Structure 1
Amino acid sequence: MEATYHQNKAHRLLRLLELLEQKAWRPHELRRELGLGERAIFDYLLEAQALAERLGLEFRHDRLRGLYWVEVRERLSLTETVVAHAALRMLAHHAPGSNKAYQESLRKLARSLPEPLRSIALRSTEALNQRPPSLSGANLETLTQGWLNQQVVAFEYRLPQARVIRVELETYFIEVSRANMAVYVIGKDRLYGRGLHYLENLKTYKLERIQRPRLLDETYTIPDDFDPSQYLSSAWGIVRSEPPMRVRLRFNPEASERIREGGYPNLQILEQLEGGSTLVQITVGTDTEGFPLELLPWIQSWGPRVEVLEPESLRQAWLAEARAVLEQYGQPGLAFRTYWAHTHPNPARWQPLREHLHQVAERAAAKARPFGEEENARLAGRLHDLGKYGDLFQRRLEGREKGLDHWSAGAHLALFEYRQPAVALAVQGHHIGLQSGARESLMEMKLREDGKGVPPELRLSETDLEVLKARLQKDGLELPPPSQTRISPPAGAAAMLDTRMLFSALVDADFLDTEAHIKGPEARPAPPELRAREALERLEAHLAQLSQAGHIPQKTLELRRVVAEAAASAAEQAASVFTLTAPTGLGKTLAMLRFALRRAARDPRIRRIVVVLPYLSILDQTAKVYRELFADFGPHYILEDHSLAYRPLSRELSDEQDLQERERRLLSENWEAPIVLTTHVQLLESLHANRPGACRKLHNLAGSVLLFDEVQTLPTHLAVPTLKTLARLASQKYGAVVVFATATQPAFDTLHEQIQRGEPQGWQPVEMVPEPERLFAQSRRVELEWWLKNPIPWPHLATLLEAEPQVLAVLNLKRQAYALFQESQARNLEGLYHLSTALCPAHRRRVLEEVQRRLEQGQPCRLVATQVVEAGVELDFPAGYRALGPLEAIAQTAGRINRHGLRPQGRLVVFLPQEEAYPDRAYGRAAALTRALQAEGPLTLEPTTFRRYYQSLYALQQVSDPAIEALIQTQNYTELARRYRIIESVAVNVVVPYNDEALALMQEARDHGISAAWIHRARPYTVPYFLPKDGPPPFLETVFLRYGRGEAPDWFLSADPALYDARLGFTPQDGASVGLVV
């Protein structure tokens, strides 16, 4: 019994101390709380006083008021007291309802305060009971436990529209928003963005929306460099972004004094204006759509005492809210008229036309600044959508009109008021493409009141130009004064490039602004810098390492060093057009890159390097080398832009791969990457294109180094117009540098006078290698033999192959290669292979791997091929036979004989085949010229020989198509884009049954149709085929578009599996494809 008595007394004593710590009490209040008598309470108070002194507490007794309480000995200063009081008052105001965790925390904090503040705080705590209960208390406790123990928490999170997602969170911080005092949890979601840096994967979750949190067994570590204050430095409340938005506001005199008193995060006073107004700037985070969601309510709270100056998007949102208020209170007539440029799925995010025109004008000006067309680009940006100020266009945005022309009004002003044909063409073409700059075509831009002067299927959005101008100017946009100069229609290739470059700046700016409006400003990654000096150091270290390669003969290594040093020295010259003439296998690819990086390191105008290659096989090899070399420069340092570069987006990709592919596609639209790899077709046809999408990237060629490899593949009949355009690009205006590299350098400099008629600079390149003839003589690895007196029958040629254990035979046509292969096959030659585009790419790759293996292991290997083997294929045979063809083609075959100089001398026989036939007339004329020059004396594969060859070839063949020259003189952009083709004949794609994967793809196409992702997967199993004039033959099976209507015009399936031979590839019997060279 005695033990029980003492236990009860101890409990009561401790309970008494706890009560006395909470607030001041009168004795009768304590009697009720503890259930004691009148005398007993005073005994307990005396014992509590003694116990408090032993525990380091101060026992207080106010005899006048009859109050008892306990304080800790470490008292707060007056300032500390008021700060703690303010914190408690804030918690009391914003606590989420009746919540035991909050109430207990408030009570404990209140104990540190002196009276009467302690009593005030405790009464506030009790007042929380009057509020609705909060469900988040237990959730907060679980999340806090996970945070403090660094333990993963799983929960369901309620999104808007009642959507719920699952989250597994590594909690880094728990924050109370400055904007609304709500509690938020910040951390890394393990279910999203694996592989991303943690700062790119931090998410914020509102406590009230978190449901059923539970601790998982997994733990984590918060990164040492995570600083919550720094992370949230741009947040007005809890929303942050990188980079943050800068908002400029003007407060009138009535509000200025309160603003100057301070207390606002991230607010900087910029200037005190005359009249008492204050100009301020706020740095604030934005939501996923680039909008300062938390700041707008604060701005609105100031009513008419503040004006939003920048950015325009926030200003328009502020005005839209003001208009909505007026309309709600029955005053729509007082609302400002807003003209819109673009809609948005969120009606509150429609883009004002004023903002769009301003943004496009400034973006276009920035893009045109490197080539001195800043003002014209700004004018084009202001005018390009002038017609959208028309009432009809505004109705179209609401879905009540269609078939409107909103560009012709701006084009009219550009031409007839500002006398700028290039600006007019760019504005006119920003949707329909560049049209014609001929005088009569320009005059057709003049708009008339009857609406004539626009495409017949369209109507003007507004016929009164003065109305459009007035609305634009009322919107706060300024136009320059009209010009009185005479309209001078442009002429020549240089003028066409000038117009395309201006057009490019405009359409890229238009695309980017529209993209930012729809997807948000963060949708497009910031392109990396070239970092030329760092990249050059990396490359030179790599070249030094290659110079020690033990498997390459010392002589070859020394010649490679000569080429690399020559390219490096050339970078110090001021010229803008160069040639690099060097034998195959001496490292021209890396030597050119060294030149480009050195030039960029010393020339601040150089922003990018564009590597231009003729064949995808070469491009793929080059890209692999570059990516390995610059692996740590970021995923977007190297950009490939060609038909096989696109990886389909699918669930099979990781989040990081998916994000990188989406970003790569965005950068490929306008070549915003330091190093771009593309094809001759892609670059040169874009330089002569008229469509916005194709021209969009052109402005980024200003200040670029363009490295053309295997330049001998450029079509002769396009030589002059192509060189005129490139010469203009290499002029002082654009600051580009052009390099032509090959072992068989065309004599383009002999066309200098013709090129001068389109670009005064002409074409006078500087050769990088000081003595190319000497270099070729030192590197001669192959002896040529010319057997041109009599054709060699296939049986005899097969006998010659039988005598060579390892030998390459190259024919001009597939049917010739078939004939020789079958003749050799009949003799059971060991190690016999066939290679042509009749084999799908996957099949060709397997054949090449097998051939390479046999060559390296010294096994018998006899390859019968078409010119496909000359397209960037790295092979090294001791001997070869080449059917008579153009001299540059013979040189390409020679590059596959004794390529690395591992033998004293290789041997290449040039012969007349049993069937002397050629792919086309131009090819045949070049072969005939080669035969004629050989008859005059033995031909070698050296620069002087090729100069003589090309000079003779230019005399035989057109170096400029007269039809194309006429289109250039009349500035006909539309027709020139159609006629300028690097590859004249375009074959369709036929998917062949090469293996099980190909068969599965064929069945998928039959069942579901084809899509972009399917095409990407099917390309390794396709062969080219030229359709007969009467349509697809019966052995081709048509396929349908998966997401469209009708058949795919250029994709077919091989209907008969027997038509694909395991050795010869696709062998249709109609002969339509077997005459192809590659």
Structure 2
Amino acid sequence: MDDSDSLKATHEKALRLVRILELLKLKPWTAQQLATALGVKKRAVLYYLEDLKELEPYLGFRLLHDPLRHTYALNAGVLLSDIDKVVAHTALRMLYHHSPGHNQQYLEAMLKLARGLPEPARTVAQRSAEAMAARGPGLEGSNLEKITSAWFRRQLVQFHYQLPGRREPTKFELETYFIEVSRANMAVYVIGRERSYKNELRTFKLARMQFVTLVGPTEAYEIPASFDPREYLSDAWGIVGSGGNPVRVKLRFLPQAAQRIREGGYPNLKELGQRDDGSLVVEVTVGTDEDGFPIELLSWVQSWGPRVEVLEPANLRDTWLAEARQLLQQYEPQSWMAPKTYWAHTHKDRARWQTMQEHVSEVARLAAEKAAPFGESEKAGLSGRLHDLGKYGDLFQLRLEGKERGLDHWSAGAHLALFEYRLVDVALAVQGHHIGLQSGARESLKGMRLESLSQKHPLELRLTETDINLLKKRLQADGLELPPSSQAQISVSTSAATMLDTRMLFSALVDADFLDTERHMQGEVRPSPPPLQPERALERLEAHLNRLAADENLPEGIRCLRQQVSGACAQAADQPERLFTLTAPTGLGKTLAMLRFALKRAVQDQRARRIVVVLPYLSILDQTAQIYQELFADFGPHYILEDHSLAYRPLRKELSDEQDLAELERRLLAENWDAPIILTTNVQLLESLHANRPGACRKLHNLAGSVLLFDEVQTLPTHLAVPTLKTLSRLASEKYGTTVVFATATQPAFDALHDKVKEGEPQGWQPVEMIPELEALFRNTRRVQVEWWLKDPTPFAHLVTLLEVDPQALMVLNLKRQAHALFRQAAERGLEGLYHLSTALCPAHRLKVLEEVKDRLREGQPCRLISTQVVEAGVELDFPMGYRALAPLEAIAQTAGRINRHGLRREGRLVVFVPEDEGYPDKAYQQAARLTRALQAEGELTLEPAVFRRYYQSLYTLQNVSDPEIETLIQTQNYAELARRYRLIETAAVNVVVPYNDEALALMQEARDRGIAADWIHRARPYTVPFFLPKGGPPSFLETIFLRYGRSEVPDWYLCPDQALYDRLLGFTPEEGSGAGLVV
């Protein structure tokens, strides 16, 4: 082919391409239709269409292919004129300049538009666009891509969003209605209906959205036909609408600005008139934020400087003036300038913002005061001065104005404490006052350097300032003193004592910080608790004990023994030691005897400030609280402070009555245990002593100078014995002046662990027993004869026969499945007064059963109770006859304590047997039960102290007395991991609300309608049972529920609406194989 033929073919191809474009502009065509129109084969048309596809970027069109109809068409909407292209290109550049970081989507759109410009404009525009790619990465581009997809598909989108004043981002779910650019700051915003909380129209800044994901596949939502962006933004200055409540702002512009205002074309601005001096008064109707403040208008007003005066409203005028004064201070000559004000906390009233000088001074003072009882005022005061050092950074000051986020203000003070003052405990306390105590290992301490944190922060935060000297100067300019630097070596310890010392210092700091912040935000709402008044309280108690000693309703022998125990406790208070045991049989008044010891101790020991009663079971705690409240009813409100789950009651927002106010005050005092007598649980106290979070540790400093009374101490898990005793022995040292009492009828041989406790610690565990002649006391109070039927298993049928013979008898088994099986067989015999008790019954149901059982026992009616060991959890019953499945010796003794409890009969009888369905809750329980059986085989086994000592010493050789992982965490001083590992109750059980009564059903419906929150959980607990989920997940009979705020699914709370699964006698009876049989 010669050149003329080639030119002719190219010309014909070009004409055909132009012809195809003209045809496609008119309507969609198939390839065959185009081939017929052009008089060519279909294959040639397909080649032409591929050529057109490649020309898209240069010709400014888009070739669309519909695979269902096999048609091709042009997207005429993108065929722009030259002026269209320049306008779009300019708008894109403006968006790009105002977006944070590099935005790939804006850049690609600019390059596409540039290709459609004629030369040389095309080259200049391309160069300019490509130069923008050098900017750092930003989120806005990827967010825009996802939001656009969600908008066009009408698909829900989820994201996290940092709201002003919140520490953590909030999760939202949104229906996208519109994408808009703010007139005020040129940033891109998304408008739509948020479905997570209030189900209302909201506006979100695109660049502030994080972790944006599309939710689906779901049915497409509908954008309401009534939605009109113009109406929604009608009173917005930039992007913030008022929601129907706009505010009218009156401004006066000086003459030199008046003409520019008239030329501006500002939205919602109306001229009210010109004054004689030439100034112009205008009114702007504008939307506000949630506090009713025209936040978007503020920066525009400030941009006019002294050429504008705010006339109304007062909050805008006051804020503008306050910020103007700050600006003036910043730029006045240094020689006569007032020091710059640095702020610690905001307030809804801008005039009441708290300065750093006020906050730091008060926290330092309070922390020193809190740490004085254990001699660490100096360190605590330093911690208070350093804890918010980073707030002197300019970035933090911007954060308070909502202009910054994601900042670390605590590491600066920690750096100074560690590397300038060489104080590890102060550094850890300052570092942890927001994020919790972390690790005191050398490698972890190295990570406190600001240089390291500025390069890579473990929480992906930014430091408020990297110049530590600048922060020091600003703090000192506020009149706050710092000690001279230290040249000492940084000392790292590996003991549990050191960890407690650090937690106590940490406690003083965080309590001081909480208290001052609370006072600033809420005012003086915290009540002042009454003093302990130990002399008066002891006099009241001893008068009560004298009345009990004269009560002829109790046998004289029991009264004499109670006086003996109480007197021994009173004498023990005179001894100088700080570790005690109180070993006394059940029913001899240990509760009041311990209190007598504590009050007499407080009379004699000037350091004693409060009494803390620590109990393992809520049932015992409730009984003790009633006794104490009645005894000290006139000692003032909150003399007795309960801190446990059952103590909480819901609060109404309006605090409408005295009960609401009392509950609010109780909650405030419970935060730091600021009361004379505290009643709490083992879990609350011991887990707090090993915690790392500010809220949990806040109360610890108030344990210094306290008397801790632990009752039923045999419930402490064996694997936590040594680390727990290490911590308590440190607390009972001269440094803290705390006295610790371990009380029980079955005293563990913890003193046998003395060497293990003392290993690496300043002291071990060598308590003094309060009762001088233990063996004689137990011989004189033997009220139960124990029989051991351990040779062969006892069939359930035989046990039912025994229950037929004994009209009043207690039968205790180890598992619910055993108790259920025996109960069903007994029920088939038609036994009168037959009851069941286990955790299959919700607490409200258990309470009702126990009330009926006590009534029948008191009235002498037939009463046969088949129970799991839940009856041993502080339940006060008195049966003449008992049967106990083989168990750990201390559990057998607990059952014996429910037989002939008050000595009203000559002797009670307890039979220990091996059930036909032998089973145990866990391996440790099984080991202890088999040890009991082995000791019985060696000779007659009694429930006396010497036998228990031998039993526990043997048990400690079989079971681990110290969790190896916890020991490692102590060695490495890892506070955060130790807090997660130290758990008194290890269970994977979830909470199931059962259909016990109408109130339980109403709570279920409330959970469905509104989701659940803390107040709902407190109200639901009486109707809740524990349940182990099968490996495959929740069974079909359980209904999931959601959080009230956030609507996320709750992983450990479920509803069981099926009333057929809750038996009126046996409680929650789910399908077989659910794992429920393992819960007692």
> Normalised by the size of structure 2, how large is the TM-score?
0.69
3-state SS, counterpart of residue 1003 of structure 2: helix
3-state SS, counterpart of residue 631 of structure 1: coil
Q: For the residues of structure 2 that align with 1:921 and 1:330, how far apart are their CA atoms?
A: 70
3-state SS, counterpart of residue 1075 of structure 1: helix
1:736 pairs with one of 738, 748, 763:
738
Q: For the residues of structure 2 that align with 1:450 and 1:542, how far apart are their CA atoms?
A: 62
Q: For the residues of structure 2 that align with 1:539 and 1:843, how far apart are their CA atoms?
A: 34
Deviations 1:934-960 (A, max 9, x none): 000011000000000000000100100
* Offset at residue 645 of structure 1 (A): 1.1
* Offset at residue 452 of structure 1 (A): 3.1
2:495 pairs with one of 492, 506, 510:
492
Q: For the residues of structure 1 that align with 2:400 and 2:330, how far apart are their CA atoms?
A: 25
2:723 aligns with 721
Over 3 Å counting, the alpha-carbon distance change for 1:972 and 1:601 in structure 2 is same
1:622 aligns with 624
Contact 2:330 2:340 in 1 (8 A): no
Map of 1:825-974 to 2, 5 A cutoff? Answer: 825-974=827-976
1:439 pairs with one of 420, 437, 442:
442
1:679 pairs with one of 659, 678, 681:
681
Q: For the residues of structure 1 that align with 2:645 and 2:672, how far apart are their CA atoms?
A: 16
1:338 aligns with 341
Q: For the residues of structure 2 that align with 1:730 and 1:553, how far apart are their CA atoms?
A: 38
2:569 aligns with 567
1:352 aligns with 355
Contact 1:991 1:1053 in 2 (8 A): yes
Map of 1:635-714 to 2, 5 A cutoff? Answer: 635-650=637-652, 655-714=657-716
Deviations 1:578-603 (A, max 9, x none): 00000000000110000000000110
Tell whether 2:412 aligns with 1:426: no
Contact 1:581 1:741 in 2 (8 A): yes
Tell whether 2:464 aligns with 1:461: yes
1:800 pairs with one of 795, 799, 802:
802
* Offset at residue 537 of structure 1 (A): 0.7
Map of 1:599-618 to 2, 5 A cutoff? Answer: 599-618=601-620
Contact 2:613 2:678 in 1 (8 A): yes
Q: For the residues of structure 1 that align with 2:452 and 2:1062, how far apart are their CA atoms?
A: 64
Tell whether 2:395 aligns with 1:392: yes
Contact 2:329 2:339 in 1 (8 A): no
Over 3 Å counting, the alpha-carbon distance change for 1:671 and 1:758 in structure 2 is farther
Over 3 Å counting, the alpha-carbon distance change for 1:840 and 1:628 in structure 2 is same
3-state SS, counterpart of residue 399 of structure 2: helix
Over 3 Å counting, the alpha-carbon distance change for 1:319 and 1:738 in structure 2 is farther
Deviations 1:15-68 (A, max 9, x none): xxxxxxxxxxxxxxxxxxxxxxxxxxxxxxxxxxxxxxxxxxxxxxxxxxxxxx
Deviations 1:355-376 (A, max 9, x none): 1111111110110111011111
* Offset at residue 621 of structure 1 (A): 0.7
The aligned amino acid for 1:963 is E
Tell whether 2:1063 aligns with 1:1075: no
Q: For the residues of structure 2 that align with 1:1073 and 1:651, how far apart are their CA atoms?
A: 41
* Offset at residue 336 of structure 1 (A): 3.3
The aligned amino acid for 2:1042 is F
Q: For the residues of structure 1 that align with 2:567 and 2:978, how far apart are their CA atoms?
A: 41
1:1022 aligns with 1024
Q: For the residues of structure 1 that align with 2:820 and 2:464, how far apart are their CA atoms?
A: 63
Contact 2:329 2:338 in 1 (8 A): no
2:590 aligns with 588
Q: For the residues of structure 1 that align with 2:471 and 2:953, how far apart are their CA atoms?
A: 58
- Between stretches 1020-1029 and 659-668, larger displacement belongs to 1020-1029
Q: For the residues of structure 2 that align with 1:322 and 1:882, how far apart are their CA atoms?
A: 76
* Offset at residue 523 of structure 1 (A): 1.1
Contact 1:727 1:759 in 2 (8 A): no
Over 3 Å counting, the alpha-carbon distance change for 1:335 and 1:323 in structure 2 is farther
Q: For the residues of structure 2 that align with 1:944 and 1:937, how far apart are their CA atoms?
A: 14
The aligned amino acid for 2:641 is L
Over 3 Å counting, the alpha-carbon distance change for 1:651 and 1:850 in structure 2 is farther
* Offset at residue 858 of structure 1 (A): 0.7
1:1040 aligns with 1042
Contact 1:726 1:738 in 2 (8 A): yes
Q: For the residues of structure 1 that align with 2:501 and 2:815, how far apart are their CA atoms?
A: 42
3-state SS, counterpart of residue 448 of structure 1: helix
2:505 pairs with one of 496, 499, 502:
502
Over 3 Å counting, the alpha-carbon distance change for 1:1031 and 1:603 in structure 2 is same
3-state SS, counterpart of residue 864 of structure 2: strand
Contact 2:885 2:915 in 1 (8 A): yes
Q: For the residues of structure 2 that align with 1:750 and 1:319, how far apart are their CA atoms?
A: 68
Contact 1:1010 1:1039 in 2 (8 A): yes
Q: For the residues of structure 1 that align with 2:639 and 2:949, how far apart are their CA atoms?
A: 38
The aligned amino acid for 1:484 is Q
Q: For the residues of structure 2 that align with 1:1042 and 1:319, how far apart are their CA atoms?
A: 35
Q: For the residues of structure 1 that align with 2:775 and 2:667, how far apart are their CA atoms?
A: 44
Contact 1:842 1:1021 in 2 (8 A): yes
1:516 pairs with one of 489, 501, 519:
519
* Offset at residue 1051 of structure 1 (A): 1.5
The aligned amino acid for 1:815 is R
2:412 aligns with 409
Contact 1:641 1:668 in 2 (8 A): yes
Tell whether 2:361 aligns with 1:361: no
The aligned amino acid for 1:610 is V
1:141 aligns with none
3-state SS, counterpart of residue 485 of structure 1: coil
* Offset at residue 635 of structure 1 (A): 1.9
3-state SS, counterpart of residue 525 of structure 2: coil
* Offset at residue 1014 of structure 1 (A): 1.9
Deviations 1:442-467 (A, max 9, x none): 11111217713632410100011111
3-state SS, counterpart of residue 497 of structure 1: helix
The aligned amino acid for 1:616 is L
Identity %: 74
1:1065 aligns with 1067
Over 3 Å counting, the alpha-carbon distance change for 1:758 and 1:532 in structure 2 is farther
Over 3 Å counting, the alpha-carbon distance change for 1:820 and 1:483 in structure 2 is same
- Between stretches 1044-1053 and 670-679, larger displacement belongs to 1044-1053
2:475 pairs with one of 464, 472, 476:
472
1:5 aligns with none
> Normalised by the size of structure 1, how large is the TM-score?
0.69
Deviations 1:862-890 (A, max 9, x none): 00000110011110000010000000000
* Offset at residue 1033 of structure 1 (A): 1.1
1:753 aligns with 755
* Offset at residue 1011 of structure 1 (A): 2.4
Map of 1:233-272 to 2, 5 A cutoff? Answer: none
3-state SS, counterpart of residue 763 of structure 1: coil
Contact 2:995 2:1057 in 1 (8 A): no
1:380 pairs with one of 379, 383, 401:
383
2:1009 aligns with 1007
* Offset at residue 471 of structure 1 (A): 0.8
2:285 aligns with none
* Offset at residue 332 of structure 1 (A): 6.1
Q: For the residues of structure 1 that align with 2:350 and 2:549, how far apart are their CA atoms?
A: 63
3-state SS, counterpart of residue 470 of structure 1: helix
* Offset at residue 772 of structure 1 (A): 1.0
1:822 aligns with 824
Over 3 Å counting, the alpha-carbon distance change for 1:449 and 1:749 in structure 2 is closer
Contact 1:327 1:335 in 2 (8 A): no
* Offset at residue 406 of structure 1 (A): 0.6
Q: For the residues of structure 1 that align with 2:829 and 2:965, how far apart are their CA atoms?
A: 52
Q: For the residues of structure 1 that align with 2:831 and 2:744, how far apart are their CA atoms?
A: 35
* Offset at residue 323 of structure 1 (A): 9.2
The two structures, once aligned, show a CA RMSD in angstroms of 1.9
